Amino acid sequence: MDFRLTPEEEAFRQEVREFLRQELPADWAGADFFGAEEAGDSTREIGRRITKKLVERKWLAMAWPKEHGGLEASHMQQLIYNEELSYHAAPGGGGMGVAWVGPAIMLYGTEEQKQRFLPDITSGKVTWCTLYSEPEAGSDLAALQTSAVQDGDDFVINGQKIWTTGAQYSDWGWLAARTDPEAPKHKGISTFVVPMDAPGITIRPLVNMANQTGFNEVFFDNVRIPKENLVGDLNRGWYHVAVALDYERSGIQFYARARRTLEQYLSLFQEQHAAVRRNPQTRIELADRYVELHVGTWMSYRIPYLQSQGAIPNYEASISKLYGSEFAQRVASTGMRLLGSFGLLGPGSAYAPMAGQIGQSYVQMVAATIGGGTSEVQRSIIATRGLGLPRG
């Protein structure tokens, strides 16, 4: 593939940058990648305003077909858009609804479901969460036990989900549940859309090690949803989930956000020569991170190229996700080593460099190699589907 942007693509990048320059406050620092759920009221208001403007421009789901509210923009344009929003830590946007719920409904949903759900996603009216992981089903997601039993014209859902990002703010949930307990575990799962205010749903926020409450436990106690909320074929949900995860893993957000962080590191230590003299390894470590940044960025650029050729990236998306999440951890670790004890200072401290983001990011990034599929799972996918190695 040719990694160079066309003049039209470069012009679009400049258009997105100018849009963000106008819409974000001049002193905008933004939330860390994993801290967006902790945004305060002012940040949420900025996010709502930006989302409204994105809807007006039809940028919220620009790569979607025009019939569903998109612009049929190229996959590369979508990547450029995602890259710029992530680099600038811009709040707002379509979230999970645009990233993988909508594409899954377009691929597997009925015409009625497309008409019902897709317009609300592209208009920014609703927020989605993803209901996959369970206390006993994380990396081995096919071991999930939350059940959906058909009862007349309804499905009755019972069970528990965990690590559900943003459930407390979501209107709808994208649910994977077991519909055939007698079938092999990969063949008895179905996917549903669930209103998060349905009777019987209880949402309980979880406090993570960064003292944030973006994750939640979600409990289902005889929750009834109409059978029309089943998406795709009954008991074929594992394949829908796998495709949705590929969409999740093909983003550039790790690299875009890390690029901004590394630029902040460089600016900080160009001003603090004494810190570099105390730790001469600093220069080599920063250089290593920049090399890795370019490697990862170009890997993620290959994903939209494959999509433009009609392919759904699989092991290629796992490569980008694996490298990106581990790279993000290395960036955070580098920041802590560069700052020493000052890295322990958190947001709110008058003495904390970079407003305390480095120490906060160091703790948050522990989850980077777990959420969306652990590094071990990614390596297994790469080995079996990418290299053709036998299963262990």
Q: Which residues are annotated as catalytic?
A: 248
> How far apart, in whole angstroms, are the C-alpha atoms of residue 141 and residue 162?
12
Q: Based on C-alpha coordinates, what's the Rg of the chain? A: 21
Q: Which two tokens stand for residue 138?
A: 């994380």
Q: How many CA atoms lie within 13 A of 28 on its CB side?
A: 21
Q: Are 174 and 96 in contact (CB under 8 A)?
A: yes
> How far apart, in whole angstroms, are the C-alpha atoms of residue 256 and residue 251?
10
CA distances (Å), origin 45, targets 24, 42, 315, 330? 11, 5, 38, 32
Q: How would you label 7-39 residue by residue, b for 16+ Cβ within 10 Å and e otherwise?
A: eeeeebeeebeebbeebbeeeeebbbbbbbbbb
Q: Where are the alpha helices (DSSP H) in 149-280?
A: 237-249, 253-271, 273-278
Q: Which two tokens stand for residue 390?
A: 């036998």
